[in-house]
Amino acid sequence: MSESKANKRLPLKGDGGSSLYLSLGSNLGDREQTLHRAIALVGERIGTVQRVSSFIETEPWGFRSEHPFLNAACMVLTKLSPMQCLEASQQIERELGRRTKSQGGIYHDRPIDIDLLLYDDLHISTPTLTLPHPRMLERDFVMIPLREIMGDAEALLAGHHDEAQSCDEEGEHQGDQ
């Protein structure tokens, strides 16, 4: 999908909004409070939060740390475009204390991480956003909460996408964990 389509929201049946699935994680500070606050801000700025998974504790992925993560997933009905959702989620991260983004596959501790996983059934590949999230199927900390709110089969099917649309380690832009 071109960058211009990533900036446009496509109408859904009944136009109640588009279905956006997010992964959230925190491993610094009051992790549970941070996740609750992030979900509340998502509801205020991105759309109506329809479903929220349980919070699960996981070990850091891709780096070593003595600080375990608390992870969750949520489903939001949004009228924003995918790019507007990305921008809003990154603003929420900054407001909740995130100062740097991981780059080049180098990860680090962080108070909050919000990744866009799925937006309807769109396949998007731009320099700043790839949907479905290119590594979601590899990550239990994403898939366990996602399956809880979406169902096993639906989550697995939604996560499959053309290899040509995947980012390599250098191309991970939307989220870091």
Among 23-32, 37-46, 164-173, which is the least confidently predicted range?
164-173
Distance CA 103, CA 170 (A): 7
Mean pLDDT of 161-166: 39
pLDDT by residue (tens digit) across 67-119? 999 999 999 999 999 999 999 999 999 999 988 766 566 667 889 999 999 99
Q: pTM (2 decimals)?
A: 0.80
The confidence score (pLDDT) of residue 8 equals 53
* Domain presence at residue 130: yes
* Domain presence at residue 23: yes
* Domain presence at residue 8: yes
Q: What is the DSSP annotation of 46-62?
A: TEEEEEEPPPEEE--SS
* Domain presence at residue 27: yes
* Domain presence at residue 177: no
Can you give the residue range of the structural domain that contains 87?
A: 3-171
The confidence score (pLDDT) of residue 171 equals 36
Here the CATH number for the domain that contains residue 57 is 3.30.70.560
pLDDT category at 161 given cuts 50, 70, 90 is: very low
* Domain presence at residue 176: no
pLDDT over 50 at 61, yes or no: yes
Query: pLDDT > 90: what percent of the chain?
Result: 59
Report which of 139, 125, 140 is spatially closest to residue 172, judged by C-alpha positions. Answer: 125
3-class state of residue 23 by DSSP: strand
- Contact assessment for residue 13 and residue 82, using Cβ atoms and an 8 Å cutoff: no
Of 177 and 111, more confident = 111
> For the chain, how many structural domains are there in total?
1
* Domain presence at residue 123: yes
pLDDT over 70 at 124, yes or no: yes
* Domain presence at residue 109: yes
Q: Report the residue count for the chain.
A: 177
The confidence score (pLDDT) of residue 152 equals 64
The confidence score (pLDDT) of residue 109 equals 82
The mean of the pLDDT values for the chain is 82
